[in-house]
Amino acid sequence: MLPILIRMNILTVLLFAIVSFAYGQDRKISSYINPGCSYCPPDKTLVYTKAIGSDNTIHQIWDFTGGLPTIIFVIGTVNSSLHITWDGTNPEKFLMSDEPQYSFAAAIDKLYEYDDVEDVGHIDPSVPQKAYSLRHMYWARNASKMTETEAMVAVRGHFQDRAGLLEMKLDLLPFNDYAVQLPHLIHTANSTLVDVSVVNVTSSRAYNASRFALHLLLVSTDPAGDTMRYSMRRSLDDEHTPGVFEIVEIKTPESSRNSDGGFIQFRPVAYTQQERSVASSTNARISNFNKTLIPARSTLDKFYSYKYDPHDLLVQDIFISFGETGDGYYKQHNYTAWSFTIGYGEPPIESFSLFVIVIISIGLGVPVLLALSGVTYVVVKKYRARNAPTRFTDDD
């Protein structure tokens, strides 16, 4: 039995190696900061990444020049290219070399502060709340990495008229793996990891139970009358995100129908300290979708109005709010960090790790071993019993 178990595990290791190798060279990436901008100062940040695959190319734009942090995905043919023209230090036009096949985007347009008087841990239309537009946010670039194996940028957003920061990190790692940091989301060549932190933001004096929520805009080139699809899945185990079994997915209509649209994937968890752990985790809760419009003069507007009538696009918003009953509100830590992935195609599904497979094999193997030994014992006993008289006569 044991040798079979070991062989099974070696086979699994091989299978994993083959699978990860197959995914390992999924897309060839190249990335640029402010491509084509002659006068952009170092604190302007627009990242363009191109990920060339075997049947299409994914173009991504990560924009912080227009205040609202914006992530745009455009899928084009393998040989397609995207050219950006600039008006001084702001992007003006986004020109695709050929017809885009599909596009979707997400932007954070507002930070909401709400007075959670009932201490429920999430935003509700009935509680006092204030929206802070991010349009005039000033984003300083903190770090960046533009290589053939990674495209990463970290930025710090300063508010115009209040203390505190919004920190964001976007990371494209073009292979299948779990993120290094909790909640260990899965990244692929088709997706980007996004971290958002609300750091040391001063609460409004009018509220004594302040919490924050992010207001997200979701856009896709699906019909305006359609809707984004929300789903909550339970993972097989909580090995990668201790204590959290749920996985939330938002799919665009095209993604939900044909698996070739856009998705957002996250665990309903956020962290209240820089050191992410089970102890510092809190709830991240998503609201229902609501129809809305692309903000005028935003990068989304510049991008989509060139090719599409903005009224034909599907545009919806959601709130992601953080906290849980009895946690002492935002002021307890003055820090909340949340992560999600945004990508093209089918959202990745976590697989059992080798460790779990070994545990399961042992868990299944031991009872089978016991059952087999029991059967052997009974058979041997019966055999002996049947042969006993003969032996006895022989011995006699």
Binding site residues, ligand NAG, CB under 6 A: 23, 26, 53, 55-56, 77-79, 125, 165, 176, 188-190, 199-200, 202-203, 208-209, 287-288, 290, 331, 333-334, 345-346
Which residue, 8 or 159, is less far from ligand NAG as judged by CB? 159
Instruction: For the CB of residue 157, give the shortest distance to ligand NAG in the complex, in Å.
Output: 11
Residue 393, both tokens: 């006569």
Instruction: For the CB of residue 329, give the shortest distance to ligand NAG in the complex, in Å.
Output: 7
Instruction: For the CB of residue 90, give the shortest distance to ligand NAG in the complex, in Å.
Output: 27
Q: Which residues pair with 266 in a beta bridge?
A: 248
| CB 34, CB 170: distance < 8 Å | no
| CB 304, CB 313: distance < 8 Å | yes
Which residue, 30 or 208, is less far from ligand NAG as judged by CB? 208
Q: How far is Cα 167 from Cα 331, in angstroms, rounded to an integer?
A: 18
Instruction: For the CB of residue 199, give the shortest distance to ligand NAG in the complex, in Å.
Output: 5
| CB 36, CB 83: distance < 8 Å | yes
Which residue, 38 or 54, is less far from ligand NAG as judged by CB? 54
CA-to-CA dists, residue 277 to 83, 182, 203, angstroms:
42, 7, 25
Which residue, 125 or 389, is less far from ligand NAG as judged by CB? 125
Residue tagged 């958002």 (tokens) = 196
Which residue, 15 or 78, is less far from ligand NAG as judged by CB? 78
Which residue, 78 or 370, is less far from ligand NAG as judged by CB? 78
Q: Dihedral sign for Cα 129, 130, 134, 137, please.
A: negative
Instruction: For the CB of residue 198, give the shortest distance to ligand NAG in the complex, in Å.
Output: 11
Q: How far is Cα 210 from Cα 201, in angstroms, rounded to an integer?
A: 11
| CB 152, CB 181: distance < 8 Å | no
Which residue, 176 or 256, is less far from ligand NAG as judged by CB? 176
Contacts of 257 (CB under 8 A, 6+ apart): none
Q: How far is Cα 108 from Cα 300, in angstroms, rounded to an integer?
A: 11
Instruction: For the CB of residue 209, give the shortest distance to ligand NAG in the complex, in Å.
Output: 5
Q: How far is Cα 218 from Cα 239, in angstroms, rounded to an integer?
A: 30
Which residue, 91 or 268, is less far from ligand NAG as judged by CB? 268
Instruction: For the CB of residue 382, give the shortest distance to ligand NAG in the complex, in Å.
Output: 55
Instruction: For the CB of residue 376, give the shortest distance to ligand NAG in the complex, in Å.
Output: 46
DSSP letter for each residue of 217-269 = EEEEEEETTS--EEEEEE-S-SSSSTT--EEEEEE-HHHHHHS-SEEEEE-SE
Q: Which long-range contacts (CB under 8 A, 24 or more apart) does 12-21 make?
A: 12/354, 12/357, 13/354, 16/354, 20/175, 20/176, 20/177
Instruction: For the CB of residue 43, give the shortest distance to ligand NAG in the complex, in Å.
Output: 17
Instruction: For the CB of residue 244, give the shortest distance to ligand NAG in the complex, in Å.
Output: 22
Which residue, 165 or 179, is less far from ligand NAG as judged by CB? 165
Which residue, 288 or 393, is less far from ligand NAG as judged by CB? 288
| CB 172, CB 49: distance < 8 Å | yes
Q: Dihedral sign for Cα 144, 88, 48, 248, please.
A: positive
| CB 282, CB 275: distance < 8 Å | no
